[in-house]
Amino acid sequence: MSFLSVRDLRVHFPTIDGVVKATDGLSFDLERGKTLGIVGESGSGKSVSTSAILGLHRRTNAIVSGEILLDGVDLLKVSDEDMRRRRGREVAMIFQDPLSAMHPYYRVGNQIAEAYRVHHDVSKKAARARAIEMLDRVGIPQPDRRVDDYPHQFSGGMRQRAMIAMALINNPSLLIADEPTTALDVTVQAQILDLLQDLQRDFDAAVMIITHDLGVVAEMAHDVLVMYGGRAVEYGATKEILTHPEMPYTWGLLSSIPEVDADPEAKLVPIPGNPPSLLNPPSGCHFHPRCTHRDKVPGDLCRTVSPELTPGTRGEGHLKRCHLANPDVVYEREVLPEIAPDLVEGR
Amino acid sequence: MSDHQLPMAGGMPADDPRSRAEDPVDAAASGFVEKERANPAVAGHFDADPILTVKDLRMYFPVRSAGIVRRTVGHVQAVDGVSFQVPKGGSLGLVGESGCGKSTTGRLITRLYEPTGGAIEFDGRDIAKTSSHGLKPLRREIQMIFQDPYTSLNPRHTVGAIVGAPLLIHNILPKDKILPRVQELLEIVGLNPEHYNRYPHEFSGGQRQRIGIARALTLQPKLLVADEPVSALDVSIQAQVINLLQEVQREFDIAFLFIAHDLAVVRHFCPEVAVMYLGKVVEIADRDSLYNRPNHPYTQALLSAVPDVKQAAIGGRRERIRLEGDVPSPINPPSGCRFRTRCAIAQEICARVEPPLLQIGKRHKVACHFAGELGHHPERPVTASLLGVDDTGTPDPGASPSVGIGNDPGYSDTWFDLERKTMASA
């Protein structure tokens, strides 16, 4: 049994226009000390799924089903009271925009100390000392002075460090980072990613990192889960997925990003069309209206039948959701020469 | 095409603008979008005459004290002595971290701000001090594409009104000719021309950015300032918009000032790139020199910080140069070299003397006393003799400084050879 085991997670929002299936049958596992990267475009269900793990969906407007087993306990079955005790202590979250995630009227130190005092019966003084210690740990210079600053007095990178300090002050076993570096500049992003890796080693936490940046996933994650239209479309070890992707959407992501060391004259191959509406998703495979490889599948399969998440051609552990019979061959012959001609010649 | 009938099965309702009559896969493979693909990239534009020459551009925003008097207590030196050229039909990329002044530079060139000092020569005229009345004709020739397609389009105007407004304002076409022109423009940017009657909220982010591009193209400008045109878009949509921008550039021979923080996107789009740090250009070069042989420690750190998919995929990881701390405040920037507070190779001279933007190759300029490729930075400052100072930055009475190095936009035929420490030429 894995440390975190999510099985068939569904988050549906009933609206007057119909049910929005924001997450539709998501399963994955995560061990302590490991990092899972969840990649997808806006509206693919990344954030909705992780909010469900934190129990942040209100029962009145969301229908959450499936299983979220954290250390053997199903988080969807525990009482609100129990969930409140676990939230912040066992499961903590780092948000994308630290300026809006922190309260502008309270001092940074107080906000961090409060997170500690909610879960520990300690004096204000002890909590403050702990906050200073954490600020120091995340690399804020002169923490005993900066602890009394307001969030606006911190730079973007420092705010994100303070957020990380707040998330880790209770020593959580599962840390969810939702686009932790999207709002930051590259040099600061590099600092924060290094810091997260350091802290993960120290705290032995399981980390889920949500991002749209495959580069961040490549550096940070042991496993990667690619989401599209509320479903996982490819799942496996990061190295395996990035070197032998078997789902046309993943190919599209790889071929549409320019890279700093790629041939600048090589053209970008965009994914045609737009992300699907989850209110009224395409039939069959959610990706088929944008898929350039659907003609290779006989019949009308892509349009009519939703493919299951099945093992890839290179064995267990690599799952993909696609009807293509020989995705490995298609990738080698058609996709790779387009996105990385230099790699093909080297073979 | 045979499977045009393929319905967007179970897909969007017919009035959803996202459901174009055609299938997106087929649409991408046909029409305007495809026909320009075969062209080689705009490499030959290097030698074209400049359409825009910026010289010693400065923008200081006053910082005022609280209270009634509001005395000016300091200045934010957002842009401080920036010089560059953009060739006709070419593109220059401007990269740097937030707060480095790249967006301010863009806004100065479109004259949304009046510069504190310096010259902006556009098509032979200095527009730095043009009056607001004189700016109107200028707006026909310089247009801007904004970062956020959600806030840069008026939500209460139809797309037709938004894209047609410039024609009306400048009184270019009679009212009854505007609609056909608007539809033509929508077609060019890959939108359905029948959707001119819709409102911005009915479109997705990528489509809205296309509307912004159509609006910028309406007056057939000679220069487009694109300020982070793709950073608000989803990854799969970014490539569509980048390709569209390249197509319109080739089709209409428009020069681009492409401002972005994403080094990979800039490299893909621009044959020439300038790196800014705290209001100054620290390195400017053609694409190959800048990305393959960066000479400024900041450029080197910036490039090493970009996460790399392919490297990581094959198990390797680029050695990252850690930059400590944050960008200093532009109200009170460090003396001498502005990067010295975060620089690993800074020495005494860096605090005393500001390094000039020294030309070190045919199309390569760098502002660093210790300019050199990564791991090959010289021991002694290369600029000392040129500036008439000794190695610690103290003025050297015996030396004869070369005057005015580094302030000129563009490149000269001779440059300082870092290896031989002498002037060289092609």
Most confident of A21-25, A342-346, B388-392: A21-25
Give tens-digit pLDDT for A143-188.
Answer: 999 999 999 888 888 888 999 999 999 999 999 999 888 878 888 8
- Give residue B53's pLDDT: 95
ipTM: 0.79
Selected residue with higher pLDDT from A300 and A30: A30
Q: Is pLDDT above 90 for B163?
A: yes
3-state helix, strand, coil in chain B (%, to 5): 30, 20, 45
- Give residue A343's pLDDT: 59
* Pairing mode of beta strands A174-178, A91-94: parallel
Nearest chain B CA: its distance from A169 CA (Å):
23
Range from A226-240, B107-121, B167-181, B315-329 carrying the lowest mean pLDDT: B315-329
Range from A12-16, B105-109, B390-394 carrying the lowest mean pLDDT: B390-394
Contact present, B388 and B395 (Cβ < 8 Å) = yes
Angle at B398 between CA B393 and CA B401, to 5 degrees: 65
Q: Is pLDDT above 70 for B149?
A: yes
Selected residue with higher pLDDT from B306 and A3: A3
SS (HEC) of chain A:
CCCEEEEEEEEEEEECCEEEEEEEEEEEEECCCCEEEEECCCCCCHHHHHHHHCCCCCCCCCEEEEEEEECCEECCCCCHHHHHHHECCCEEEECCCHHHHCCCCCCHHHHHHHHHHHHCCCCHHHHHHHHHHHHHHCCCCCHHHHCCCCHHHCCHHHHHHHHHHHHHCCCCCEEEEECCCCCCCHHHHHHHHHHHHHHHHHHCCEEEEEECCHHHHHHHCCEEEEEECCEEEEEEEHHHHHHCCCCHHHHHHHHHCCCCCCCCCCCCCCCCCCCCCCCCCCCCCCCHHHCCCHHHCCCCHHHHCCCCCEEECCEEEEEECCCCCCHHHHHHHHHHHHHCHHHHHCC
Q: What is the mean pLDDT of residues A189-218?
A: 90
Q: What is the mean pLDDT of residues B145-163?
A: 91
Which of B37, B302, B307 is nearest residue A213 as measured by Cβ atoms? B307
Cβ–Cβ gap A257/B41 under 8 Å: no
Chain A, nearest residue to B306 by Cα = A186
Contacts of A271 in chain B (CB under 8 A): 236-237, 239-240
User: Cα-atom radius of gyration of chain A, to the nearest Å?
Assistant: 21
Contacts of B309 in chain A (CB under 8 A): 214-215, 218, 242, 254, 257, 259
- Give residue B420's pLDDT: 79
Give tens-digit pLDDT for A10-56.
Answer: 999 998 888 999 999 999 999 999 999 999 888 888 889 999 999 98
Nearest chain B CA: its distance from A290 CA (Å):
6
Distance CA A131, CA A144 (A): 9
Chain A, nearest residue to B207 by Cα = A274
- Give residue A83's pLDDT: 92
- Give residue B11's pLDDT: 37
- Give residue B32's pLDDT: 42
Distance CA B238, CA B241 (A): 5
- In order of A286, A302, A303, A339, B26, the CA distances from B4 in angstroms are 19, 16, 14, 28, 8
- Give residue B311's pLDDT: 64
Structure tokens at B187: 């077609």
Cβ–Cβ gap B263/A259 under 8 Å: no
Distance CA A95, CA B410 (A): 44
* CATH H superfamily, domain B2-277: P-loop containing nucleotide triphosphate hydrolases (3.40.50.300)
- Give residue B314's pLDDT: 59
Q: Is pLDDT above 60 for A269?
A: yes
Most confident of B98-102, B163-167, B200-204: B163-167
Cβ–Cβ gap A256/B235 under 8 Å: yes
- Give residue B46's pLDDT: 57
Count of CB atoms situated within 10 Å of the CB of B386: 19
- Give residue B401's pLDDT: 66
β partners of residue B119 = B55
Selected residue with higher pLDDT from B114 and B11: B114
Confidence of residue A344 (pLDDT cuts 50, 70, 90): low
Furthest CA-CA distance within chain B: 83
Tokens 């075969």 identify what position?
B38
Residue of B1, B42, B45, B235 to mutate when probing chain A, most A C-beta within 10 A: B235
Helix or strand holding residue B166 (H, E): helix B159-169
Burial B173-208 (b: 16+ CB within 10 A, else e): eeeeebeeebbebbebbbbbeebbebbbebbbbbbb
Contact present, B213 and B248 (Cβ < 8 Å) = yes
Report chain A's mean pLDDT, rounded to a whole number: 89
- Give residue B406's pLDDT: 64
Q: Where are the domains of chain B?
A: 2-277, 297-425
Structure tokens at A260: 């700093």
Q: What is the mean pLDDT of residues A302-310?
A: 91
- Give residue A7's pLDDT: 94
- pTM beyond 0.95: no
Distance CA A227, CA A320 (A): 11
Nearest chain B CA: its distance from A340 CA (Å):
9
User: Cα-atom radius of gyration of chain B, to the nearest Å?
Assistant: 24
Report chain B's mean pLDDT, rounded to a whole number: 84
Helices (H), B36-153: 102-109, 132-139
Query: At a CB cut-off of 8 Å and minimum separation 6, what does A241 contact?
Result: A224, A226, A234, A235, A250, A318
Distance CA A191, CA B321 (A): 10
Contacts of B263 in chain A (CB under 8 A): 186, 260
Contacts of B41 in chain A (CB under 8 A): 264-265
Count of CB atoms situated within 10 Å of the CB of B132: 8
Confidence of residue A214 (pLDDT cuts 50, 70, 90): confident
Cβ–Cβ gap A264/B207 under 8 Å: no
Give tens-digit pLDDT for A240-267.
Answer: 898 889 999 999 888 887 777 777 777 7
Helix or strand holding residue B121 (H, E): strand B117-122
Nearest chain B CA: its distance from A15 CA (Å):
16
- In order of A12, A21, B19, B191, B309, the CA distances from A278 in angstroms are 10, 6, 14, 22, 29
Q: Is pLDDT above 90 for A315?
A: no
